[in-house]
Amino acid sequence: MAQDKKQVEQITDMEVDFAKWFTDVCKKAELIDYSSIKGMFIYRPYGYAIWENFQKILDQKFKETGHENVCLPMLIPESLLQKEKDHVEGFAPECAWVT
């Protein structure tokens, strides 16, 4: 696991910054760890168990309602992102470029 550089001292107020609150709670509960890759997390055992339960419940609901699961690519060619550059611009901070 990545070197734990950031220990959560105080949990952010949910009303102030929901995304930060959620990350703080998951980190403090030891559900996740930070990865050496910015924006990526390592799911710890309890965190992964929760993820597996979500998948199980959602999969059952999908099947009950006639929906199907899909698996989308994790990496998208830059040429395709350029075609949607106006739309992608808002996501630029979250976009990881693999070179």
The predicted structure's pLDDT at residue 4: 53
pLDDT in tens, 52-92: 999 999 999 999 999 999 998 878 888 887 887 777 777 66
Q: What is the pTM of this model?
A: 0.65
Spatial distance between the Cα atoms of 17 and 21, rounded to a whole number of angstroms: 6
In angstroms, rounded to a whole number, what is the distance separating the alpha carbons of residues 57 and 65?
Answer: 13
**Which pair of tokens denotes residue 63?**
């099947």
pLDDT digits (tens, 9 = 90+) for 7-57: 677 899 999 999 999 989 999 999 999 888 877 889 999 999 999 999 999
